[in-house]
Structure 1
Amino acid sequence: MIRTLARSLRQYRKSSVTAILLSILEVILEIAIPLVMSDLIDRGIQAGNMGEVWRLGIALLLLAVLEFGVGAGGAWMGARASVGFAANLRDDMYDNVQTFSFGNIDKFSTGSIVTRLTTDVTNVQNAYMMIIRMGVRGPVMLAFCWIVSFTINRQISFVFLAVIPILAIALGLIMWRVSSIFNRVFATYDTLNNVVQENIAGIRVVKSFNREEHEIGKFGAISQRIYEDFARGERLIALNTPLMQACMYACMILISWLGARAIVASGNNAALGLTTGQLTALFTYATQILMALMMLSMVFTLIVIAQSSAKRIAELLNEQSDIASPEPGRAVTQVADGSVEFDHVSFAYASKAEKNVLEDVNLTIKSGEVVGIIGGTGSSKSSLVNLIARLYDVTAGTVRVGGIDVRDYDLDALRGQVAMVLQKNELFSGTIAENLRWGDAEANDAELVRACELACADEFIDQLPDGYQTMIEQGGTNVSGGQKQRLCIARALVAKPRVLVLDDSTSAVDTKTDAKIQRGLAEYLPATTKIVIAQRVSSVMHADKIVVMDDGRISAVGTHEELLCTSDIYREVFESQQKGTAEDE
């Protein structure tokens, strides 16, 4: 896990090392100040030597100014390193998510990915900042204070040493107990984000069914779980402070008792024992040790919280796409034509699934053909076409495009020539023109207009005040379902693909517009293979051939007229839709 996260440091390694070195130098300067103060008291004030008072006073001032400068520099470098590290983590996770196949994406909910990119990264950023600053200062301060205290008085220095094992055991037990609590907390955060995302996306449905109170209750229940777990964890972590204070105040009492006895026994003579100045230095070191332990307590708290976050970040960074391009040099980069062949194809979404979604599918589609696919809900129509662009890999058999196994293609080359208008249409925030250029970033305005004419999107775009520069809101919420579908079809047409897949992409438009779109596609892209998944027979009845799917298998293949004679499923669908049309009339 640590090695995985450390790869994201990159250009901020030097800043991290510099922050650590400056922290150590700051500690050395801070340790030196009590020693100078001890001499100031013994050799200056008590000896009545004003020359020493001035000399050592100026030395103290210079040390304090230098310590401030070094500390400020260390804090700046530490902040730069931690913020940069967090930025790299977010970039690396987001970049890795972009490589995921649909199968990889299915492993992580949207809410979980959002939590990892935001809350988890913030937790790791805060912990890293504390580690390279306070996490370095604390142990170095403890070590140096004890060494210097040992040189002043061995007996008293062992008082400090005695409390360290007690604190280490106690903190270890607390960390072990709290870690499992925070693992649960961040898993609950994922659920919370999923609930929020679902509610916001479906807010119109929530309001139309008057379910606001239900959604508030659902959110409140999850929020309460987070509160209870956090409170339980924080109560355990809160034991750190009283524990350390009890140990350190016990040390102060022992130092006072042992120090007073040593001063009386030596007659305030350094050669014979302990002086007032040295006791003052020991008190200062005791305070510094207390502060160092408090620093370590804060670091400990953030590490406990960040530990769970770091595991979740590493999990996302280590996830490897189960679909990748072949090695450079071996990958096919050109799609010869739009022919598609399914050769004894079987497919399951999960490797341990009891039943395949597709079973022994054999289908040959010639380049330039218009193929309709029809079937009931759950007949695996979408699953079939997802294999063409290699959004999923087959479980068995082979899918070929242009006569080549899709697994032999460079993914960018394959997907650049297989355009898909998926069942769930998505538009992105930006102008209409920017959305259309997802199909081809170099497309000119005339090509955008032509694609929109074929998709019948120009009918409403021309009526907009800003035309193609009209802003689309996130998710395309400011356009209707039918308008969104037509824009998505136009976006695919801009790509001029060899294979065009329309997955139930005209369900929100009327039959007249649907027919107009189908005619436009046939005229504009005669060499492009067009695969149309539809619920309406009218959308596919003029196709070169129609594939009837049933329970993951191909039930029948033929033209509209042939299937009316040979396929009971097709005939039943056609007759029910004809009957519904007649009743509507």
Structure 2
Amino acid sequence: MLLSLLTRYLRRYWPFLAGVLVFQFVSALAALFLPTLNASLIDEGVANGDVPYILRTGGWMLVVAFGQILAAIVATFCAARAAMSIGRDLRRDIFSRVSAFSEREVSQFGAGSLITRNTNDVQQVQMLAMMSATMLVMAPMMSIGGIIMAVRQDIGLSWILAVSIPVLLIGVAIVISRMVPLFRSYQSRIDTVNRVLREQLTGVRVVRAFVRESIEEQRFRVANTDIMDIGRRVGSLFVLVFPLVLLIMNVTIAGVVWFGGIEVDAGNTQVGTLFAFMQYVGQILGGVMMASFVAMMIPRAAVSAERISAVLASETTLVPPAEPITVMPRPGEVTFDNAEFIYPGAEQPVLSGISFRADPGETVAIIGSTGSGKSTLVSLIPRLFDATSGTVQVHGVDVTQADLSVLWRGIGLVPQRPFLFAGTVASNLRFAKEDATDEELWHALEIAQAADFVRERTGGLDSEISQGGTNVSGGQRQRLAIARAVVRRPEVLVFDDSFSALDLTTDARLRQALWRELPDVTKIVVAQRVSTITDADRIVVLEDGRMAGVGTHDELLEISRTYREILDSQKGVDA
């Protein structure tokens, strides 16, 4: 999974990777050549007191060292450029895929997990790509080249390397094998912390209203402690690796000094050769240590790559048609024909046998008890969900065959929980129509009964709106969301219980304005109060996901027991 993900994205930046290979190769050659020059300097120059040879060889050592530094800088730049580009592309592709998800896929992964995958997980893969490009190229060259050069210097001491390198590799492999399950658990714990934190921030009013601060703090403390426990276990493994590498390195060098000193004393080797051998040992074990460092990053990056690939491999249920219909024959018409919807894994459908039609300019109200499927029903109109059987037609076209951009341009949706973006009143309204003039914005605000309170705000249309609209009341937020839908001037307006936070007077004025100013627009209204929908052209009554009646207010009083029960339960409530 990790290799395929890296291969897919790295090949886009092959010029930078080629630069990494070339300059890392140059840097490694320079590093391998320096100990040989050092041995020659000691054995030929210092031992014989040859000053010109010392100066000449020392000058070459400076040139080689400078070349090594320059090559390493260029290689690191190329690696960083490629790795950062990979991170950017991954975040872009994840965002594009998630943007195409239906509510079903978003619920399946969870908003907190999707955020973690697009930030923390991408960062892990990005860091591995960076370290791999800079170390996994250099480490093998230093290790293999160092072994060759060390053997050339003194084959009699090479047995020390034959013992120390396998011991080091086995020790590191044991530690890394224990990290894989820990990293998978660590990433899931990060998802949990993000979810808890997101719930507490978005539900801060509820938390305070029910005096749940201490309980929520405990929830976060538990999630945070879980991360700490996993991180501590991972950290303890990290702590083992570097002392292990240093121990083996120091023991190896001590062995080289000990046995090399014996050979020097016996006249079998020279001091310069011994120093060069020690430097090559340092390079060999240093290369192994670099490779070990990258290898320790692989398990966590592999888990992250698996989570990223799961998002990228997920196909949205909102599959665009092979030949999308872009011309709508009957704008404003909405038809349900025996539509059914069942959530994945559910035993019973949440909607079943839904059949009704709304003609252009008509107002159709949807009413029913809590959990009867009202919001799910209107979500089928803009294709937030796809009906599992039956058909839903908008503008005379099956929504599964319509071009999505054309379909959505003709629909204005005001969700049950309206969301405002950080910015200004104007920027939120222009979210529906970017080129809307100030006059159009004010007209929409007048229709939505929001113009008065916007004028009272400092800055008017330019007054600031915080993220989620937390600096306005619930009723104001609903009216701004309604104004945003009106600005688009769609053929179909869908109100998902969008008047619940309004008082009866404001509700009545708003509906009158909508009906008066938008007579040709089809209005689908989910409502709780019967008194506000009595003048609807058609009322659809839902009970347990099925239609318990359809007709006008007077007709339903005669034929629908469920409608009469709803009306009786609300007597005196709106008085």
Correspondences of 1:414-453 after superposition (within 5 Å): 414-453=407-446
Corresponding residue number in structure 1 for 2:204: 203
Matched, 1:147 2:140: no
Where 2:449 maps in the other structure, the secondary structure is coil
Corresponding residue number in structure 1 for 2:251: 250
Deviations 1:471-530 (A, max 9, x none): 111010111111111111111111111111100001001111111221222222222211
Unaligned stretches of 5+ in structure 2? none
Corresponding residue number in structure 2 for 1:370: 363
Determine the C-alpha separation between the residues in 2 that align with 1:175 and 1:319.
30
* Matched AA of 2:546: R
* Matched AA of 2:313: N
Corresponding residue number in structure 1 for 2:504: 511
* Matched AA of 2:272: G
Corresponding residue number in structure 1 for 2:163: 162
Correspondences of 1:101-140 after superposition (within 5 Å): 101-140=102-141
* Matched AA of 1:566: I
Please, which of 295, 313, 338 is the counterpart of residue 332 of structure 2? 338
Corresponding residue number in structure 1 for 2:387: 394
Deviations 1:262-285 (A, max 9, x none): 3344x3xxxxx5222111100111
Corresponding residue number in structure 1 for 2:101: 100
Q: Is 69-78 or 102-111 further displaced after alignment?
A: 69-78
- Report how far residue 41 of structure 1 moved: 0.8
- Report how far residue 159 of structure 1 moved: 2.5
Corresponding residue number in structure 1 for 2:289: 294
Determine the C-alpha separation between the residues in 2 that align with 1:45 and 1:5.
50
Deviations 1:214-270 (A, max 9, x none): 2211111111111111111221232222332333333223323432343344x3xxx
Correspondences of 1:456-471 after superposition (within 5 Å): 456-471=449-464
Corresponding residue number in structure 2 for 1:555: 548
* Matched AA of 2:339: V
Determine the C-alpha separation between the residues in 2 that align with 1:209 and 1:325.
45
Please, which of 274, 277, 280 is the counterpart of residue 272 of structure 2? 277
Q: How big is the alpha-carbon RMSD for the aligned residues of Structure 1 and Structure 2?
A: 1.7
Unaligned stretches of 5+ in structure 1? 268-272
Corresponding residue number in structure 2 for 1:310: 305
Corresponding residue number in structure 1 for 2:232: 231
Q: Is 51-60 or 172-181 further displaced after alignment?
A: 172-181
- Report how far residue 409 of structure 1 moved: 0.7
Contact 1:178 1:237 in 2 (8 A): no
Where 1:238 maps in the other structure, the secondary structure is helix
Determine the C-alpha separation between the residues in 2 that align with 1:180 and 1:139.
27
Contact 1:241 1:297 in 2 (8 A): no
* Matched AA of 2:537: D
Deviations 1:129-153 (A, max 9, x none): 2111122211111011001112222
- Report how far residue 296 of structure 1 moved: 2.1
TM-aligned CA distance change 1:5 to 1:326, over 3 Å: farther
Q: Is 239-248 or 87-96 further displaced after alignment?
A: 239-248
* Matched AA of 1:21: V
Where 1:341 maps in the other structure, the secondary structure is strand
TM-aligned CA distance change 1:324 to 1:459, over 3 Å: same
Matched, 1:524 2:525: no
Corresponding residue number in structure 1 for 2:574: 581
Deviations 1:430-482 (A, max 9, x none): 11111111211122222111111111111211212211111111010111111
* Matched AA of 2:292: S
Structure-2-length-normalised TM-score = 0.96
Identity %: 38
TM-aligned CA distance change 1:563 to 1:197, over 3 Å: same
Determine the C-alpha separation between the residues in 2 that align with 1:363 and 1:394.
15
Determine the C-alpha separation between the residues in 2 that align with 1:343 and 1:40.
91
Corresponding residue number in structure 1 for 2:372: 379
- Report how far residue 5 of structure 1 moved: 4.2
Corresponding residue number in structure 2 for 1:485: 478
Where 1:28 maps in the other structure, the secondary structure is helix
Corresponding residue number in structure 2 for 1:270: none
- Report how far residue 575 of structure 1 moved: 2.5
Determine the C-alpha separation between the residues in 2 that align with 1:362 and 1:437.
35
Determine the C-alpha separation between the residues in 1 that align with 2:288 and 2:487.
64
Contact 2:5 2:305 in 1 (8 A): no
Contact 1:485 1:506 in 2 (8 A): yes
* Matched AA of 2:117: R
Corresponding residue number in structure 1 for 2:317: 322
Determine the C-alpha separation between the residues in 1 that align with 2:234 and 2:308.
21
Corresponding residue number in structure 2 for 1:181: 182
Contact 2:531 2:574 in 1 (8 A): no
Count of residue pairs brought into register by the alignment: 573
* Matched AA of 1:339: E
- Report how far residue 304 of structure 1 moved: 2.7
- Report how far residue 9 of structure 1 moved: 4.3
* Matched AA of 1:487: L
Determine the C-alpha separation between the residues in 2 that align with 1:549 and 1:304.
52
- Report how far residue 10 of structure 1 moved: 6.6
Structure-1-length-normalised TM-score = 0.94
Contact 2:165 2:285 in 1 (8 A): no
* Matched AA of 2:511: Q
Determine the C-alpha separation between the residues in 2 that align with 1:51 and 1:8.
53
Determine the C-alpha separation between the residues in 2 that align with 1:390 and 1:207.
36
Determine the C-alpha separation between the residues in 2 that align with 1:115 and 1:345.
36
Contact 1:481 1:508 in 2 (8 A): yes
Determine the C-alpha separation between the residues in 2 that align with 1:581 and 1:523.
24
Contact 2:144 2:284 in 1 (8 A): no
- Report how far residue 11 of structure 1 moved: 5.6
Determine the C-alpha separation between the residues in 1 that align with 2:20 and 2:520.
63
TM-aligned CA distance change 1:323 to 1:458, over 3 Å: same
Determine the C-alpha separation between the residues in 2 that align with 1:247 and 1:151.
22
Determine the C-alpha separation between the residues in 1 that align with 2:519 and 2:291.
71
Determine the C-alpha separation between the residues in 1 that align with 2:292 and 2:239.
10
Corresponding residue number in structure 1 for 2:342: 348
- Report how far residue 533 of structure 1 moved: 0.3
Determine the C-alpha separation between the residues in 2 that align with 1:493 and 1:23.
60
